[in-house]
Amino acid sequence: MTDPVRLARVATLMLLAVTAVWGSTFFLIRDLVATVPAADFIAVRFAIAALVMLVLFRRQTLALSRADLRLGAGLGVLYGLAQLLQTVGLQHTAASVSGFVTGTYVVLTPVLAALLLRDRIDAVTWGAALLTTAGLAVLSLRGFSVGYGEGVTLASAVLYAGHIVVLGRWSTPSAAVGLATVQAGVIAGITAVAAVPGGLTLPDGTGQWASLLYMAVVAGAAALWAQTWAQAHLTATRAAIVMAMEPVFAALFAVLLGGEDATTRLLVGGGLVVASMYLVELRGVLARRRRRGATAADDPPVEALHHDV
């Protein structure tokens, strides 16, 4: 039997790589949606991702049970609506700020898990979530008001948190590939419906198509599969804390490649988010030292939490 602690570590590293890929897309999306409507862009992106995944994982997808199909469809609806709102928000705010506001799912995830699933969230995790919120506030708030772009992006963060909670509770390693494929197809369908009224606008030029293909294949198909597999080995709250690095990567890429400035607010806010992730990881290390026989650092993989949908 595979060591669950080792699997949890691999899953954590995989999820961290996913957040780096997602973080690299913020400034690309912002440039692309300047000429391509949000729904059109997402519909084409995930249609390509779904096609690639169906070709590669047709057998695993057809092997899904009805319960898995319902789960995949529900996850796709949550993720598709979140993508729409996030992309619309990017049209009204900087890529770095959008990344950090999206990161509020870190604090929203344990809240939803506690309220909806009655999960017990320990004090250290709550502290890490609040520390993340402080970092987001330093970066994003303008006085006591939030702009339209930040508000829409915050709504997407609520949906992302719901997606993380559901995926973390009910996904299994054996169904991960098929679930990811179904999700991609549903996301493409939802956004295609949203794109119909204005007609479908496609990217223009080699640069835009290259960006779209990168976001479809790498940040879409590959990342969606990796997230689904990783969350089958991590609790939802732990996954959310790891994924808090996404806005840090978004800010890094926005500064290095997107021409944005590295402001003091950006550095302080990003530093607090990174500190929150290390706080959770430190909690795990200390727990293992206290209990030499403990599994998964008092934060067990969700195989132990699964129950039927």
Task: Specify the pTM.
Answer: 0.75
DSSP string computed for 109-165? HHHHHHHHH-----HHHHHHHHHHHHHHHHHH-BTTB--HHHHHHHHHHHHHHHHHH
Predicted confidence band at 23 (pLDDT cuts at 50, 70, 90)?
confident
The pLDDT value given to residue 7: 86
The pLDDT mean for the chain works out to 80
Question: Which residue type sits at 25?
Answer: T
pLDDT at 307 over 90: no
The pLDDT value given to residue 96: 66
* pLDDT (average), residues 242-250: 77
The pLDDT value given to residue 291: 55
The pLDDT value given to residue 233: 85
- Contact (Cβ atoms closer than 8 angstroms) between residue 253 and residue 27: yes
Quick one: DSSP state of residue 296? G
The pLDDT value given to residue 244: 72
More confident site: 163 or 135 = 163
The structure tokens listed for 261 are 């400035």
* pLDDT (average), residues 211-232: 90
How many residues can be counted in the chain?
A: 309
Q: Could you give the CA distance from residue 59 to residue 48 in angstroms, rounded to a whole number?
A: 18
* pLDDT (average), residues 267-275: 78
Which burial class, exposed, middle or buried, applies to 141 when counting CB atoms under 10 A from its CB (0-12, 13-18, 19+)? middle
Q: Could you give the CA distance from residue 245 to residue 106 in angstroms, rounded to a whole number?
A: 10
**Exposure b/e, 108-125, CB count within 10 A at least 16 = b:** bbbbbbeeeeebeeeebb
pLDDT at 300 over 90: no
The pLDDT value given to residue 59: 94
The pLDDT value given to residue 264: 79
The pLDDT value given to residue 280: 65
Q: Could you give the CA distance from residue 277 to residue 129 in angstroms, rounded to a whole number?
A: 9
Q: Could you give the CA distance from residue 222 to residue 50 in angstroms, rounded to a whole number?
A: 11
pLDDT at 191 over 70: yes
pLDDT at 306 over 70: no
Give every CB contact of residue 53 below 8 A, 6+ residues apart in sequence.
61, 177, 180, 181, 184, 221, 224, 225
Predicted confidence band at 299 (pLDDT cuts at 50, 70, 90)?
very low
- Contact (Cβ atoms closer than 8 angstroms) between residue 183 and residue 49: no
Share of the chain above pLDDT 90, in %: 28
Least confident window among 43-57, 60-74, 266-280: 266-280
Q: Could you give the CA distance from residue 144 to residue 142 in angstroms, rounded to a whole number?
A: 6
Query: Phi then psi for 77, rounded to 5 degrees?
Result: -65, -50
pLDDT in tens, 116-146: 877 777 787 778 778 877 876 776 665 545 6
Q: What is the largest CA-CA distance in the chain?
A: 60
The pLDDT value given to residue 18: 92
Q: Could you give the CA distance from residue 77 to residue 56 in angstroms, rounded to a whole number?
A: 23
Q: Could you give the CA distance from residue 211 to residue 28 in angstroms, rounded to a whole number?
A: 7
* pLDDT (average), residues 140-157: 75
Predicted confidence band at 298 (pLDDT cuts at 50, 70, 90)?
very low
